[in-house]
Amino acid sequence: MKTNLTVIIPTLSNVKGLKYLLNYFKDKPYAVVVVDNKKKNLGFAGGVNKGAKNIKTKWMLILNDDIEFENDQLINQLYIYAENKKLDALSPILVNQNGRVENYGYKVLPYGKVELIKSYKVHKVIKFIKSEEIDGLTAACLLVKTKVFRKLNGFDESFFAYLEDVDFFLRFKKAGYKMGIADVEVLHNHMTTTKTMGNFKTRQDMINWWRLFFKHPDKFKFDWQFVIERLRNVSGFIKASLK
């Protein structure tokens, strides 16, 4: 019996990660949509949008192919948590291969930089990050209501990959939807695909920060700090290109 949740996995070259996830979900009560970007690379944004196009479940779980789960109940825990808290989007805590927490959400700073939140206060009754404390969630393992994703027209495909989740959550928060982070952990084998793609990420970062600036002018301030951050993007791209 299928639950009211569909898993969407865009994939490109991480065969090992995809095999792990397909094996993990083979006996789980969730519909799974794999979007193969090998024949035509739609990017992360386009891949997720394509996977979400025809699903009919209340919830969708956007999933990188480099995620691993510590137990069989974790997704159900997220689902129940989101329903009980009346949230529109929810993420678990992402932990890297060294056992360190990647972030508890992030703030988008006015000079064009993401500030990862590395610690948080424990609220009464349950550990919980509230929408008021963060600007967004990482989309590597993201539970979101299907109708909310569609009302916001999904990810902006002009971002292709990287910062598409930042853009999405700036729109999400502006529209008044609620997000949170639950106190459960998943392993994120970060940059599994990206590290095989040379200067691709640095190029995307260099371009996409300008996209964010022009799309959300109320969020950013064009000053010397903003210019310095953009020069850092250019420097990162040049260094990656010379490797």
The 10s digit of each residue's pLDDT in 56-105 is 999 999 999 999 998 888 999 999 999 998 999 999 999 988 888 888 88
Q: Mean pLDDT score of the chain, rounded to an integer?
A: 89
C-alpha torsion sign, points 169, 174, 178, 183: positive
pLDDT of residue 129: 59
Give the pLDDT score at 120: 63
Q: Are strands 67-69 and 179-188 parallel, antiparallel or unpaired?
A: antiparallel
Q: Are 208 and 162 in contact (CB under 8 A)?
A: yes
CA-CA distance, 41 to 239, in Å (whole number)? Answer: 25
What is the spatial distance between Cα 171 and Cα 25, in angstroms, rounded to a whole number?
31
Residue 202 has pLDDT above 60, yes or no: yes
Rounded Cα distance between 8 and 196, Å, is 23
Rounded distance, CA 141 to CA 75, Å? 10
Q: Of 10-14, 118-122, 171-175, which range is least confident?
A: 118-122
Of 26-30, 39-43, 113-117, 215-219, the least confident:
39-43
Residue 138's pLDDT band (cuts 50, 70, 90): very high
Beta bridge partners of 36: 11
- For the entire predicted model, the pTM comes to 0.91
For residue 232, the model assigns a pLDDT of 95
**What band does 123 get if pLDDT is binned at 50, 70 and 90?**
very low
Location of structure tokens 């040049």: 238
Half-sphere exposure of 90 (CA within 13 A, CB side): 24
Residue ranges of domains in the chain, CATH in brackets? 5-193 (3.90.550.60)
- What whole-number distance in Å separates Cα of residue 109 and Cα of residue 208? 15
Across the range 21-39, mean pLDDT stands at 92
Contact present, 214 and 122 (Cβ < 8 Å): no
Residue written as token pair 């979900």:
25
Which pLDDT band, with edges at 50, 70 and 90, does 132 fall under? Answer: low
